[in-house]
A and B are shown apart, each in its own frame.
Chain A
Amino acid sequence: MATLSTTTSPTTARPATPSPRPKRPGGFTLARTLRYAALLFFLLIVLIPVYVLLVTSFKGPGDASPARAWSLPSTWTLDNWRTAADTLTPAIWRTLQMVIPSAIIAALLGSINGFVLSRWSFRGANIVFTLILFGMFIPYQAVIIPLNELVLDLDLPSGVPTLILLHVVFGIPITTLIFRNYYQTVPHELVEAARIDGAGMLRTYWSVILPISIPSFVVVLIWQFTSAWNDFLFAVFFSSSQNGPVTLALNNLANGALLQDYGVSMAGALFASLPTLLVYIVLGRYFVGGLMSGSVKS
């Protein structure tokens, strides 16, 4: 997912609390009721797939007839969840092994780049930044064929190690963007003061910039975690069902021998989404912070 030039200022990483505004005469009760009605209507629409996923995942073979498509399970069963968990668990572990290191490395590189490009800048830094940023937008289809050769030449084992490398490299643009925009909100005086005290570039980064970077690190780590977890394109080209991540395993599960068994695929879809959903529920405000690194700089 990509996003562009903005400010993830320290405040955007926090809950976007609505600034309380004085009530204005336009707020009739009728208008308010209509607003609620509309909001609830859309809420129901958005939740339809969730209902289907949940209900179907607990249905047994007795509910296979189309007539029962939308009804609750006649008997609730955990069989689908058991099958899905057995099939997907090894892939979930592999995905964790892939996602965690790649998120950390990409975040560190992004932090260093962001610092240099915003607070230890040089002539032409903007052009360098734009060139890096372009990497975020390219369709990966435009590099996959030679990338395949390159990975073979590097002798990297297919699966997790290759995917870590790819998620790091193609994560650099967005992590750089988020950190750079964040550091741009750090007062110049802080860096200047360190300079006057004789601190060099590394020292300034280490003792001035890094300690105030925690909010940005959270945003970036969540962002990288989610996008690598949900990636399918690299997975399908650079791993197999034996060594690939959970998106690939889920796709195989849904397309495989169990094609018609929607109960198992839906339980699998929920099971595979649990980690990202959990992150979204617990750290949602930071997730939104990551998204907002894409909004506009006015």
Chain B
Amino acid sequence: MTHTLKRVGPPLLLLAPSLILVGVFVYGLIAVNFGTSTTDIHTAAQTTGQEPSNTVWFDNYLDLLGNDAFQHSLRNLLLYTAVFLCGTLVMGFLWAWLLERPIRGEGIFRSIYLFPMAVSFVASGVVWRWLLNSGQDESATGLNRLFQMTGLDFLQNNWWNNVDYGITAIAIPAIWQLSGYVMALFLAGFRGIPDELREAARMDGATTWQLYRHVLFPQLSPVALSALIIIGHMSLKSFDLIMSISKPANYQTKVPAVDMYVFKSSFDYANAAAIGSILLVLVAVVVVPYLVRTNRRER
């Protein structure tokens, strides 16, 4: 007993500050947040305790999920995530593939493809709001004007001002910003493949395409999975970009994270907390199996 304490005690003590902080700020607050989401705190007076609040259990969740406007947000989130994921994975993979074999200027291409990651979503939102301006023909600026100048007039559209698919327009800047990251992941994946594998395939007379198709690509599936998880969970949390391109009150492009902000601003803490919990569940469904699997594999 004392032996175990001696062995486990000091490291735990050293971890204690972080464990307490993470314990309180992550797990503790998640629990409290869930508590708030089961109350009827919908007004400023209730948040300060001036007026009483009651427990309503899952009513907020049921109301939200049955509400057309919130369903629209969930649908937007799904669409956005689908486009964002496909876009970054395809672009990132393509770029990595193009850069995988040594080529002059590789460093420059890589750095420029990756640089948008160093910029905040708020800053890139400024320029993308201009690029995705919905004005067409005479009043067109941004990409619509560029389409006219390059003879691609038919591509002109009203971008994020479309109620049904506007959200996919906002996925474009997200793809612009994160494809380089996915490229870097895939490049590391390519470089991690032992040269012997290529050699062996070549000895067996494989063509370049066969080499990729049957030897190299299959080796990249763990990278693809990581990219999927990382981009996927980022997408579910998307907030900054949407806020800086369109207004929070903009119905076309709202997602749950934006709704949460609007509820919080109007002191509807119960609904804001409920949305927070819904997002947490969505992310956990994606991330927890991955974390558990990684943890297990390491042992």
Q: Which residues of A pack against B, CB within 8 Å?
A: 1-5, 12, 16, 18-21, 24, 26-27, 32, 35-36, 38-39, 42-43, 46-49, 52-53, 56, 66, 69-70, 109, 112-113, 116-117, 120-123, 125-135, 137-150, 168-170, 172-173, 176, 200-202, 226, 229-233, 236-237, 247, 250-251, 254-255, 262, 265-266, 268-270, 272-273, 276-277, 279-280, 284, 287-288, 291-292, 294-298
- Which of B53-61, B80-88, B158-166, B287-295 faces chain A? B287-295
B63 within 8 A of A: no
Contact B29 A130 (CB under 8 A): no
**Interface size range of chain B in the complex:** 35 or more
Decide: A233 and B106 in contact? CB cutoff 8 A. no
State the CA gap A122–B7 with chains docked (Å): 7
Q: Is B277 an interface residue (CB 8 A)?
A: yes
Decide if B93 is an interface residue (CB 8 Å cutoff).
no
Known: A66-B145, A135-B22, A298-B192. A272 touches B30 (CB 8 A): no
Q: Report Cα–Cα, A237/B113, bound state, in Å.
A: 32
- Determine which of A16, A121, A168, A295 lies in contact with B226 in the assembled complex, contact meaning CB atoms within 8 Å: A295
Closest partner residue, chain B, to A275 (CB atom) = B118
User: Which of the residues B99, B124, B229, B239 comes within 8 Å of A39, measured between beta carbons?
Assistant: B99
User: In the complex the two chains form, is B26's CB within 8 Å of A143's CB?
Assistant: yes
Q: Cβ of A47 and Cβ of B112 under 8 Å apart? A: yes
Report yes or no: A280 in contact with B118, Cβ–Cβ below 8 A.
yes
Nearest CB of chain A from residue B224's CB, rounded to whole Å? 9
Could you give, for residues 236-261 of chain B, a 1 whenever the CB lies within 8 Å of some chain A CB and a 0 otherwise?
11011001100100000000110011
Nearest residue, chain A, Cβ from B119: A273
**Cβ of B152 to closest chain A Cβ, rounded Å:** 14
A265 to chain B, nearest CB (A): 5
Residue in A closest to B31 when the chains form the complex, CB atoms: A146
In the complex where A21-B102, A294-B185, A296-B222 touch, is A233 in contact with B131 (Cβ < 8 A)? Answer: no
Task: Give the tally of cross-chain contacts (CB within 8 A).
Answer: 308
Alpha-carbon gap, A36 to B109, bound state (A): 10
Q: Which residues of B contact A (CB under 8 A)?
A: 7-8, 10-12, 14-15, 17-19, 21-22, 25-27, 29-30, 32-33, 36, 91, 94-95, 98-99, 101-103, 105-106, 109, 111-131, 135, 138-142, 145-146, 149, 176, 180-181, 184-185, 187-189, 191-192, 195, 198, 202, 207-208, 222-223, 225-226, 229-230, 233-234, 236-237, 239-240, 243-244, 247, 256-257, 260-261, 264, 269, 272-273, 275-277, 279-280, 282-283, 287-288, 290-292, 294-295, 297-299
Q: Which residues of A contact B276 (CB under 8 A)?
A: 139, 141-145
Is A126 a contact of B295 with CB atoms below 8 Å?
Answer: yes
Chain B residues near A48 (CB, 8 Å)?
A: 131, 146
Contact of B29 among A49, A150, A247, A255 (CB under 8 A): A150
CB of A113, distance to nearest CB on chain B (Å): 5
**B2 shortest CB reach to chain A, Å:** 15
Complex contacts, A265 vs chain B, CB 8 Å: 126
Contact A66 B139 (CB under 8 A): yes
Give the docked Cα–Cα distance between A90 and B95 (Å). 39
Residues of B within 8 A of A5 (CB): 294, 298
Q: Establish whether residues B283 and A266, one from each chain, have CB atoms under 8 Å apart when the complex forms.
A: no
User: Quick check: B101 and A21 within 8 Å, CB to CB?
Assistant: yes
Q: What is the distance, in angstroms, from B34's C-beta to the closest C-beta of chain A?
A: 9
B109: A residues at CB distance < 8 A: 39, 43
Whether A147 lies near B29 (C-beta < 8 A) is: yes
Evaluate contact between A169 and B21: CB separation under 8 angstroms.
yes
Given contact pairs A21-B198, A270-B123, enumerate 11 new A-B contacts (beta carbons under 8 Å).
A137-B287, A143-B26, A200-B10, A226-B118, A251-B122, A254-B125, A265-B126, A284-B114, A291-B117, A294-B230, A296-B226
In the complex, A5→B91 CA distance in Å? 23
**Residues on the B chain within 8 Å of A49, using CB:** 116, 124, 127-128, 131, 176
Known A-B contacts A47-B112, A126-B295, A130-B291; A139 and B18 likewise in contact (beta carbons under 8 Å): no
Q: A115 CA to B192 CA in the complex, in Å? A: 26
Residues of A within 8 A of B141 (CB): 66, 69
Are A173 and B22 neighbours in the complex by a CB distance under 8 Å?
Answer: yes
Assess whether A52 is in contact with B226, with CB atoms less than 8 Å apart.
no
Take A52-B130, A69-B142, A294-B226 as given contacts and tell me if A172 and B18 are in contact as well, using a CB distance cutoff of 8 Å.
Answer: yes
- Contact between A3 and B230, CB atoms less than 8 A apart: yes
Report the Cα distance A251→B283, complex, angstroms: 27
Residues of A near B234 (CB, < 8 A) are 1-2
Minimum CB–CB distance from A109 to chain B (whole Å) comes to 5
Q: Is the CB of B127 within 8 A of A269?
A: yes
- Whether B149 pairs with A70 at a CB distance below 8 angstroms is yes
Contact yes or no, B101 A254, CB < 8 A: no
Which residue of chain A has the shortest Cβ distance to B25 in the bound complex? A169
Chain A residues near B116 (CB-CB < 8 A): 46, 49
Residues of B within 8 A of A200 (CB): 10
Known contacts A109-B17, A291-B184; A232 and B115 CB within 8 A of each other: no
Q: How far is the CB of A23 from chain B (nearest CB, A)?
A: 9
Identity of the chain B residue whose Cβ is nearest the Cβ of A137 in the assembled complex? B287
Residue of A nearest to B109 (CB): A39
Q: What CA separation (Å) do A133 and B233 show in the bound complex?
A: 14
Interchain CA distance A163-B260 in the complex, whole Å: 20
**A18 proximity list for chain B (CB < 8 A):** 102, 106, 191
The reply to whether B32 and A146 form a contact with Cβ atoms under 8 Å apart is yes
A146 to B33, CA, bound (A): 6
